[in-house]
A and B are shown apart, each in its own frame.
Chain A
Amino acid sequence: MNRALVEFGALCALAVLLVGFVAVARRAGGPRADGGYRQRSSLLDPSVLRAGVVRWTTTTDHRDVGLLYIAFGTLAALWGGVDAMMMRTELLTPAADVWSEATYNALFTTHGITMLFFFVTPVFFGIGNYFLPLLIGADDMAFPRVNAIGFWLLPPALLITRAGLPSQVAAQVLGALVEGPLVDFFAALEEPGIGWTLYTPLSTVTANPQIDLVLLGLHLSGIATTVGAINFVVTVFYERGPDTDWATLDIFSWTMLTTSGIVLFAFPLLGSALLMLLADRNLGTTFFTVGGGDPILWQHLFWFFGHPEVYILFLPATGLMSLILPKMVGRALFGFRYIVYSTLAIGVLSFGVWAHHMFTTSMNPRLSASFMAVSVAIAVPSAIKVFNWITTIWDGRLRMAAPGLLCIGSIGTFVVGGVTGVFLAAVPVDIFYHGTYYIVGHFHLITVGIIPMMMIAASYYWYPLITRRWYDRRLARFQVGLLVVGSVVTFGILLALGFQSLPRRYANYPAAFAPLQQVATVGSYVIGLSAILWLYNMIWSYWNGDPIDDADVWDLKETGQFTAEWQWLEGRLEREYNVTPTEPESVRPASTTDPERGSPHVLADPRGLVRSVLDDTLYGAIGGLLGTLAMSGVLFTAAFIGVFDVAAFAELAGLVGLRESALAGYLLFIVGGVTTWAILFRAIAEFLPGQVLVVSGLSYATIMSTGFMIAFYTGQSGLELVGYLGFVLVAHWLYGLGLAGTIRYAEYRRTVGE
């Protein structure tokens, strides 16, 4: 299928949805019954629009730049996420028939590059920009303008790197209208299928000019990252407030500092290697060619950057964990000092292990043994972190809020991801699993199992600080559940596929793996849904969340953890109260939206149900009729699809001695639904005090459906059987709903009528 158009369409749909949703959320957040009234001018007003554009493109305030980084990273994540979903869709079938092999190759390339370079680092830099100055008591970053420039290099870098998609779309659209060199020009740029590692010689001999643009785009993003890192280092060194010295520097700032240090040593190396590759492709140099150079050299250079890069991605996530987890359990971080040491140790060691990526490529066995030793050694500092986290939780009172749940889930996935990594560091194991799905499972348990999870935890934890509103807390817990379950299922299965030695990066695979692959794909869709729920929550709550009424939203004062950034918020709220006391003391909304508090406890008076036998029977019959009709609708849909056989009705008729016709059977079925089962329900429901009638109806129908399933079974198997069971169940639920709903409604009319 035409990948460019499909992906472009998906992105456009996503954009339209997002914009429309923002508009709706803004409007819904108008005057509120609780007094949280906000006057807002129309976005479409040109002067407002211009002011907004000027403000956001010229700002140098660290908090604004931070938000820009976060927004950019989120958009990149959505784009890379669309790639991931498309990849998993391809893997629904063993053959490469949804997209082609070439498209699959392009997808895993762009997915990897987008996620690693344009999602993770920007988002962490955004969080760092927003919070690091607040945490260390600085007024702003050390070089605010450089900071803004560092950010503004990223959008062009992303666009250059991913120009293949827009230019393919342009070529196809133009090509449908005209022909000529312009179309050829656009058609020549195609998203390359060479993997994010850009291995030579493939990346030197492939003639796609988009590869050159990718190299330039990555180079530009490297410059942006380096510029940002310099700013962090200088800020931590020279901009600390009077109360912050090295001993009291918080854990997140420590990790950002270490990360920035790694960036300063790693990214220049990537830049150099990229330039050499560019020269090989365009200027006839032979750094990485077979004659004159060495393709393996590229791998060494790349991984000398690449392995530290892994820790650039991962350290800020551990920083967030170490910061948020204590707040969620009401205990100080256990072994703070050792966590700092372990962070620094990782920073240094990360440069000494690159060759474990090349155990299978070419290496003197004695050398590989030493790389193995260092690689196993680097697991030690990570393990120290995990032990300290677990000890912090131990005996603490875990708050079942979304950030807390994320911390727990994330420690779980990270442990599995980390342990599988230690095995990989062992040469014999690596030789066996290298290039299989085991690798993909391992690193996604980390890249998804701690990095986005901690980002999301931070987004929830600091949401009140940024927006002065609460996110929807129940939805957040649910979203976290989906994310954790989805990740465990998806990437756990990838590990399992790896145990069976299924090689990665193939669009085709043997049919025997299809069931596992399909479950993994469904798991990834669950992750995708949870990402959308998160986005929904963030946007909706920005205008419609419950306003906070003081700065201590997490009850941190109670445990003495009311840290600098919250104190800043408190001061700000105070100042703003003095200036514009628009926010009332208490802005809790009516409790009706919150069932945990004063929620409607429903127990209808059971005597009401027994008013009149006659009435009851009548309403029961009407309800039964409605229910049976609804049920018929579902059953006939099922018959139309081909999972339910109407002949079963004929058998029913035969069973009670009627003519064996489907119509007779169907009429009998309706009569039964209106009388026997309805009356039975009426009788039973009265003995279930305290149950909401609709729930009783559903339970009743569920139980009844098992009998139906057996009685009406006509030899379906496989998918047909699944469909049959599903449809029968749903049909019965509708019956139960119709029955109980009608009775309840009639009851209501009757009481009102009196």
Chain B
Amino acid sequence: MSDVRAAFLTYGVPFVGSVLLAVGIAGGVMGGYALFQEQTDRCGQPELSVASAEETERVREGFTPAGGPNVPRLRFADLSPAERRAVEAGIEDPDTEGTVEGSFPNRDAFRRGVLVVAENETRYVTLATDDRCPQVSPLLLPLGLAAGLLGVVGVLTPPLYRRYLAFERRQREDG
């Protein structure tokens, strides 16, 4: 076997195979995830972060003599039921976060951050995460799988080739 071909088969082909495998994992993960995501509607569930009353007070007072930033207010009663539930969950939750499961009309307001006034208490509420659904080409999954398969073949080329050579040698010896 010539040196170049030996190096090519031992390192070159498996290398390309590994890269393909890595590309395939990337494509497959994204493509497969997009597919899966559409079926389980887990995406599109944003989370709100609700500051405690004291923390809110601190934000409002601000750290400078001029006082804190001017943050718009929303009344608790004006929120959609899902938003209300999320704010309540955020107050209860030790991690101060609540998930909005349902209509989210005040999304933009929450993205910027608002003071929610409920039962004489004011709480600063922001959008913590906006778990959007991924938009990817449907080709990604099959192409990813194909690239991964091809990559596996590439990685396995050296042993396969060695087997093949053994086969040819046997043929020569037999013949």
Contacts and interface: CB of A to CB of B under 8 A. Distances in A.
Contacts of A744: 168, 171
A726 B95 CA distance: 48
Contact of B26 (A477, A482, A522, A530): A522
Interface stretch (B67-75, B101-109, B113-121, B123-131): B123-131
Given A98-B134, A205-B55, A522 B139 contact: no
A93 B43 CA distance: 14
A715 B175 CA distance: 50
Contacts of B47: 100, 102
Contacts of B122: none
Nearest to A751: B175
A404 to B, nearest CB: 15
Contacts of A96: 129-132
A599 B147 CA distance: 31
A457 B56 CA distance: 53
Nearest to A508: B130
A526 B18 contact: yes
B143 interface: yes
Contact of A604 (B18, B131, B158, B172): B172
Contacts of A680: none
Contacts of A599: 1, 6
Contacts of A600: 1, 165-166, 168-169
A481 interface: yes
A525 B25 contact: yes
Contacts of B25: 525
A2 B43 CA distance: 10
Contact of A101 (B18, B128, B133): B128
A642 B150 CA distance: 18
A207 B1 CA distance: 66
A719 interface: yes
A522 B21 CA distance: 9
B96 interface: yes
A103 B42 CA distance: 14
B158 to A, nearest CB: 8
A694 B171 CA distance: 14
Interface string A513-551: 000001001110110111000000000000000000000
B30 A93 contact: yes
Interface string A195-236: 000000000011111000000000000000000000000000
A549 B18 CA distance: 34
Given A529-B18, A608-B175, A719 B139 contact: yes
Contacts of B22: 522-523, 525-526, 528-529
Nearest to B136: A93
B160 to A, nearest CB: 10
B103 to A, nearest CB: 19
A727 B146 contact: yes
B10 A478 contact: yes
A16 B175 CA distance: 47
A641 B139 contact: yes
B19 interface: yes
A247 interface: no
A730 interface: yes
Contacts of A727: 146
Contacts of B97: 102
A187 B89 CA distance: 13
A533 B130 CA distance: 37
Contact of A207 (B94, B137, B150): B94
Interface residues of A, number: 68
Contact of A752 (B30, B33, B175): B175
B52 interface: yes
Interface residues of B, number: 59
Contacts of B150: 726, 730
Given A595-B162, A602-B165, A751-B171, A478 B15 contact: yes
A93 B30 CA distance: 8
Interface in B79-105: 94-97
A97 B52 contact: no
Nearest to A521: B26
A478 B168 contact: no
Most buried by B among A89, A92, A485, A752: A92
B156 interface: no
Contacts of B137: 718-719
A360 B14 CA distance: 46
B143 A207 contact: no
Interface in B1-22: 1, 5-6, 10-11, 14-15, 18-19, 21-22
A190 B95 contact: yes
Contacts of B42: 1-2
A499 interface: no
A529 B148 CA distance: 12
A595 B9 CA distance: 12
Interface in A65-99: 89, 92-93, 95-98
B73 to A, nearest CB: 22
A606 B150 CA distance: 31
B1 A595 contact: yes
Contacts of B1: 595, 599-602
B94 to A, nearest CB: 4
A474 interface: yes
Contact of B134 (A97, A522, A692, A751): A97
Contacts of A100: 47, 129, 131
A478 B14 contact: yes
Contacts of A523: 22
Contacts of B21: 525, 529
A101 B130 contact: yes
B113 to A, nearest CB: 15
A723 B30 contact: no
A239 interface: no
B18 to A, nearest CB: 5
Contacts of B43: 1, 97
A748 interface: yes
A74 B35 CA distance: 34
A692 B165 contact: yes
A748 B164 CA distance: 12
A605 interface: yes
A241 to B, nearest CB: 42
Contacts of A187: 94
Interface string A739-754: 0000010011001101
Given A95-B132, A642-B138, 18 more contacts: A1-B43, A101-B128, A187-B94, A207-B52, A208-B95, A290-B58, A521-B26, A522-B23, A525-B26, A526-B19, A592-B166, A604-B168, A604-B172, A605-B175, A642-B139, A722-B143, A752-B175, A754-B175
Nearest 7 interchain pairs by C-beta: A751-B175, A525-B22, A101-B129, A100-B129, A97-B134, A641-B142, A188-B94
5 contacts: A1-B37, A100-B129, A207-B94, A529-B18, A751-B175
